[in-house]
């Protein structure tokens, strides 16, 4: 039997910890790094991030939007970054937030999850606005290739709160919040001890506000953005996610990247140590 994404993720946690370095080449960061805001600059930025991560963390998360700004040149830079990271044995989550239905969403999954594809990653972020059932094709593809998905569920931006805490009016998850319904439907396809289909739950939210408990996430991988620059602290990890903290991919981007090309490796090392202390509490 082939190794599932959940099994691989557990292996990364054990070998390299939970820290995930986001690769977000904001224009201001490119300027700080003395790189041009161009495809060439993006490629250099991405490859330097990969180099700094080696031997320190096991997961990288490129934010696709910053590469898309430069069209084909940006995608070429992203392809180089993805290939370098995966070639070095790092797990890559493509933060693409794709969502659609039918053959369209299947094509998105083929782009990001098919072995040998130019944009191949180990997992991708997706949106279930059209229902978790609309993600059936990506789920089937991910399972076939040992890949993963992270479905947006409870995000940190305040604009999302009214929608994600709204109560579902019909169906199996009626009377639950939209966020809790997404988690429940994702978990229907998961297995113990850790599934291959996860959810995005921001590090600055309270599970209870979204109708969730840590028990709802016992076998669910959690992509947890919001640490560092966005205000969440590592020592709040257990308070936020409870027993599900063990399932979290702890994402930090600008809090590391602002250290610059000469300081990024040290910034990663510092956050790895800080996160280890938080888990030891």
Measured CA to CA, the distance from residue 23 to residue 46 in angstroms comes to 7
Q: Which of 40, 61, 97, 147 is catalytic?
A: 97
In this structure, what DSSP letter does residue 167 have? B
Residue stretches of the chain with pLDDT short of 50: 1
Residue 52 vs residues 60, 139, 206, 210: alpha-carbon distances, Å: 11, 32, 32, 36
User: What three-state secondary structure class fits 276?
Assistant: helix
Is 198:221 a contact under the CB 8 Å cutoff? yes
For the chain, the structural domain boundaries read: 5-280
Which CATH fold would you assign to the domain 5-280? TIM Barrel (3.20.20)
What's the length of the chain?
281
Residue 46 vs residues 17, 79, 112, 132, 256: alpha-carbon distances, Å: 21, 10, 17, 32, 13
In this prediction, residue 231 carries a pLDDT of 74
Query: Based on the number of CB atoms within 10 Å of its own CB, is 252 exposed (0-12), middle (13-18) or buried (19 or more)?
Result: buried
**CB-based contacts of 171, cutoff 8 Å, min separation 6:** none
What is the tens place of the pLDDT at every residue in 47-78?
A: 999 999 999 999 999 999 999 999 999 999 99
What is the tens place of the pLDDT at every residue in 116-137?
A: 999 999 999 999 999 999 999 9
Query: Based on the number of CB atoms within 10 Å of its own CB, is 32 exposed (0-12), middle (13-18) or buried (19 or more)?
Result: middle
Is 19:271 a contact under the CB 8 Å cutoff? yes
In this prediction, residue 48 carries a pLDDT of 98
User: What three-state secondary structure class fits 228?
Assistant: helix
Cis status, amide bond into 204, omega within 30 of 0 = no
Pairing of strands 148-154, 59-62: unpaired
Is 85:60 a contact under the CB 8 Å cutoff? yes
In this prediction, residue 1 carries a pLDDT of 43
The count of C-alpha atoms lying within 13 angstroms of the C-alpha of 174, restricted to the half-sphere facing its C-beta, is 4
Within 10 angstroms of residue 55's Cβ, the number of other Cβ atoms is 12
Encoded tokens for 87: 């070639």
Q: Does the annotation count 147 as an active-site position?
A: no
User: What three-state secondary structure class fits 47?
Assistant: helix
User: What three-state secondary structure class fits 215?
Assistant: helix
């Amino acid at each position: 039997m082939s190794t599932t994404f959940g099994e691989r993720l557990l292996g990364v946690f054990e070998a390299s910890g939970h820290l995930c370095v986001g690769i977000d080449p904001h224009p201001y960061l490119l300027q700080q790094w003395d790189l041009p805001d161009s495809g060439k600059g993006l490629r250099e930025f991405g490859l330097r991030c990969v180099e700094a991560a080696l031997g320190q963390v096991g997961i990288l998360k490129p934010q696709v939007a910053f590469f898309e700004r430069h069209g084909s040149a940006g995608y070429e830079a992203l392809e180089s970054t993805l290939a370098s990271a995966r070639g070095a044995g790092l797990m890559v989550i493509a933060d693409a937030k794709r969502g659609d239905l039918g053959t369209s969403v299947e094509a998105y999954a083929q782009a990001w999850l098919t072995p040998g594809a130019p944009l191949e990653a180990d997992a991708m972020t997706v949106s279930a606005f059209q229902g978790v059932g609309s993600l059936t094709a990506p789920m089937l593809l991910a399972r076939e290739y040992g890949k993963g998905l992270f479905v947006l569920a409870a995000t940190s931006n305040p604009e999302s709160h009214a929608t994600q805490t709204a109560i579902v009016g019909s169906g199996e998850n009626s009377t639950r919040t939209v966020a809790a319904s997404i988690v429940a439907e994702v978990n229907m396809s998961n297995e113990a001890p850790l599934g291959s289909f996860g959810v995005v739950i921001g590090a600055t939210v309270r599970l209870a506000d979204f109708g969730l408990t840590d028990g709802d996430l016992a076998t669910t991988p959690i992509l947890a953005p919001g640490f560092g620059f966005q205000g969440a602290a590592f020592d709040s990890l257990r308070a936020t996610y409870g027993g599900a903290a063990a399932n979290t991919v702890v994402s930090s981007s600008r809090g590391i990247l602002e250290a610059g090309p000469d300081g990024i490796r040290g910034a990663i090392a510092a956050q790895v140590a800080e996160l280890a202390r938080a888990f030891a509490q």
